[in-house]
Every structure is written in C-alpha cells, then in structure tokens.
Amino acid sequence: MRTTHDTWLIFERSLVLSLRNPVWVIMGIIQPVLYLLLFGPLLTNIARMPGFPPGGAFNVFVPGILVMTALFGAAFVGFGLCDEMREGVVERMLVTPTSRTAMLLGRSLRDIALLLAQALILIGLAIPFGLELNGGGILVSLAMLALIGLVMSPVSYMLALVLQTEDALAPTVNGMALPLLLLSGVMLPMSLAPDWLQTLSKLNPLYHAVAAIRSLFNANYGDSEIVFGVALLSVLAVVAVSLGARTFSRAAA
C-alpha cells in the first residue's frame, strides 16, 4: 500500500521533471531514428542473402532497433540519479519514511513510460519504409521492451548509487551495454555469425528478446523464443528490482 502510493508519487515527480527538460528523451530517439533512416535501407538487399531470417528487411531490423533503444535508454538512466544525488535529493528522501522500493520503482516506471513512447514513435516512422504491422505481436513486443527497461533501469540506478559520479558511471555502463548490444543480433542477424559467436550470443538475454520480438513482428507466434524470452526477462526483472530496492535501502546505512 505504502509502496504503491509512494511509487506513484515518485513516478509522477520523475515524469514531470523529464518532460520539463526533455533533452534526454529527444537525444534517446535521435540515434535510433538515424539508424532507421540511414542504415535500414541497406538491409533491403542483404535480406535476400542466404541465412537472413524470414520476414521483410524492416520487420527484421525494427525489432533490433527497438531493443537497442530500450537497452541504451534504460542503461543510462543512472546519470539522472547521479545529478539528484549531487543536489542531495536522494539523501533528503532517504530521511523520510518513503518506501525504498518506491524510490527505485517510481523512477524505473518513468523510464519505461518514456521508452514505450519512443518505441511507438519508431514503429510509426518505420511504416512508410515497409514495416508490416500485426496488432497482437506489437503489444507483446512492447511488453517485452518494458521488461528490458525493468531489468536495465534498476541495474543503472544500482551502479549510480554505488559509483556516485557520472565520470565513474559512463565507462561502466558503456562497457556493459556495448557487448550486450553487439551480441544480441540487433544490427545484423546472428544467424550470419560464425558458430562461436552464435554460441556466445545465446548467453545474452537480449539475443532471445530480439529473436522473440522478430518472431512477434512476423506473426510467427509458435516460436519458442517468445515464451522463453518473456520468462527470462521476467525473472531478471524481479531480480533487478529486488537488488535495486536493496541498494536504495543500503544507501542509508
């Protein structure tokens, strides 16, 4: 009860602040839009190569771009927390009875809301390029993107609470996010990769998320990656949120 109430308060406050100064939100979408406009068209020819997964080029490419946006959008949210820590906002709230879970969850839900808004814009922009929509698949895909946010955003906040400064956070987050991105088959399908790289990428939860969302975009609902991806991300989200909430509690100890 207390947690729900506090989560809403923190969510509302965070969202208002993000919308007041939407630089990050806009920056977060410029990069994927550029990929969509300047890289996506290259794939139309590659899509004819053997080994390229079934579906139109954009139905393969857009799921990857969405996962990339979710990954990078959520991985860097800790920067905002560093800023709040420097101004004493976090400490001030730690000396109130506010639920520690809410301090994390309120912010993470804001991150997810922004991330879903970005996803919808990207999907809309991709339609003229030949993205074929199917309603149910998109909805489940958005849910998976939200789950990616619910894993990455708490991780980023945890790192921020531990590392304290942007200077320390930037290389850590980059070092974590880049391999996750490259091993997820976002840019080009991993089916084009040599065996060892394929094996390695299967250890990456995002690989399964990308595969699942591609199947969802192509109405290939029988793909076992979908159930596996949702289950895996759900488990990771529960772990990330619990650890993140604990880090907030420990921040006051």
Binding residues (CB under 8 A) for other proteins: these are 6, 9, 13, 16-17, 20-21, 84, 86-89, 91-98, 252-253
Cβ at position 10, least distance to other proteins in Å: 8
Nearer to other proteins, 17 or 120 (CB): 17
CB of 97 to other proteins, least distance (A): 5
Structure tokens at 174: 């980059």
Q: Which residue number, 16 or 139, has a Cβ lying nearer to other proteins?
A: 16
Residue pair 153/70 in contact by the 8 Å Cβ criterion = no
For 25-70, give the secondary structure using H, E and C: HHHHHHHHHHHHHHHHHHHHHHCCCCCCCCCCHHHHHHHHHHHHHH
In this complex, which beta carbon is closest to other proteins, that of residue 102 or of residue 216? 102
CB 132 within 8 A of CB 54: no
Q: Least CB distance from residue 90 to other proteins, whole Å?
A: 9
91/171 with CB nearer other proteins:
91
What is the SS3 assignment for 194?
coil
Closest distance between other proteins and the C-beta of residue 247, in Å? 14
Cα 111 to Cα 23: distance, rounded to the nearest angstrom: 14
